[in-house]
Amino acid sequence: QKEVEQDPGPLSVPEGAIVSLNCTYSNSAFQYFMWYRQYSRKGPELLMYTYSSGNKEDGRFTAQVDKSSKYISLFIRDSQPSDSATYLCAMSEGGSYIPTFGRGTSLIVHP
Amino acid sequence: SAVISQKPSRDICQRGTSLTIQCQVDSQVTMMFWYRQQPGQSLTLIATANQGSEATYESGFVIDKFPISRPNLTFSTLTVSNMSPEDSSIYLCSVTGYRGDEQYFGPGTRLTVT
């Protein structure tokens, strides 16, 4: 079993939909949780950074962490075609400098 | 966040040859990292490069195959040696942010080995 599991998709939604992207993990020592967005032929870009359980909101994006279930989510409201990208989750124990990445979910938002 | 550039952005190479990838950061950083990203796979850390010391390689990666240089606090190179088609991948360099565990990535080098 991999430490971080993420469905690769693709996930195809119409413009304006609410998107839910998810990751599960097995290492209970993970405390810091990140979401990256990667456009085609670009490097990953840090989108959200959260610590421990709870929600964090930034514009149309909400990151949610449920440590009891070892489950994290990224919600995108009012999705736009420009949101079409691969979204990677990542998590770390803290202090190690090196997060563990999921394989990424490909999201397609069609007009 | 740091601005990171990589050269080349892409290359097509013949098997048995070597390619050196350059990574330039716009600010001084202690640690730089090299990742490989294969299609449909998660990011795999190759090595951590600290200025003034030998790079630290992850399991499955060796210095003879992936020699790394780190001559100063803003620059690093990764060489992919004696390439085979299995080395076809995207190679990314990264640095850590102020929190210590989030990574900021360069645009990547897309390598195809024929």
Q: Please give the pLDDT value at position B94.
A: 95
- Residue A99 DSSP class: P
Q: Does A3 touch chain B (CB under 8 A)?
A: no
- Residue B58 DSSP class: P
Q: Please give the pLDDT value at position A53.
A: 82
pLDDT-derived band at B30 (thresholds 50, 70, 90) equals confident
Q: Please give the pLDDT value at position B98.
A: 76
Q: Can you tell me the mean pLDDT for B9-35?
A: 95
Q: Can you tell me the mean pLDDT for B20-37?
A: 94
Counted across chains A and B, CB pairs separated by less than 8 A come out at: 59
Number of Cβ within a 10 Å radius of residue A99: 24
pLDDT-derived band at A21 (thresholds 50, 70, 90) equals very high
| Tokens representing residue A15 in the block | 């413009």
Q: Which residues of A touch B92 (CB under 8 A)?
A: 43-44
At B68-101, the pLDDT tens digits run 999 999 999 999 999 999 999 999 999 987 777 7
Q: Find, among A46, A32, A42, the residue nearest to A88 by Cα.
A: A46
| Tokens representing residue A28 in the block | 């209970």
Q: Please give the pLDDT value at position B101.
A: 72
Q: Does B74 touch chain A (CB under 8 A)?
A: no
Q: Does B106 touch chain A (CB under 8 A)?
A: yes
Query: How far is residue B46's CA from residue B58's CA, in Å, rounded to a whole number?
Result: 6
pLDDT-derived band at B21 (thresholds 50, 70, 90) equals very high
Q: Please give the pLDDT value at position A96.
A: 64
Q: Does B59 touch chain A (CB under 8 A)?
A: no
Q: Which residues of A touch B24 (CB under 8 A)?
A: none
Q: Can you tell me the mean pLDDT for A37-63?
A: 92
| Tokens representing residue A6 in the block | 């993420």
- Asked if residue A35 has pLDDT above 90, the reply is yes
| Tokens representing residue B41 in the block | 């796979």
Give the rounded distance of the alpha carbon of B101 from its chain centre.
17
Q: Which residues of B touch A8 (CB under 8 A)?
A: 40
**Degrees to nearest 5, angle at CA A68 with A65 and A72:** 25
Smallest CA–CA distance, residue B40 to chain A, in Å, is 7
Q: Please give the pLDDT value at position A1.
A: 64
The mean-pLDDT minimum among A14-23, A69-78, B50-59, B81-90 falls in B50-59
More confident position, B69 or B102: B69
The pair phi, psi for residue B85, each rounded to 5°, is -55, -25
- Optimal mutation site among A4, A56, A103, A106, interface B, most CBs of chain B within 10 A: A103
Smallest CA–CA distance, residue A69 to chain B, in Å, is 22
Q: Find, among B113, B46, B10, the residue nearest to A41 by Cα.
A: B10
Q: Please give the pLDDT value at position B54.
A: 87
**Are the beta carbons of A97 and B108 separated by less than 8 Å?**
no
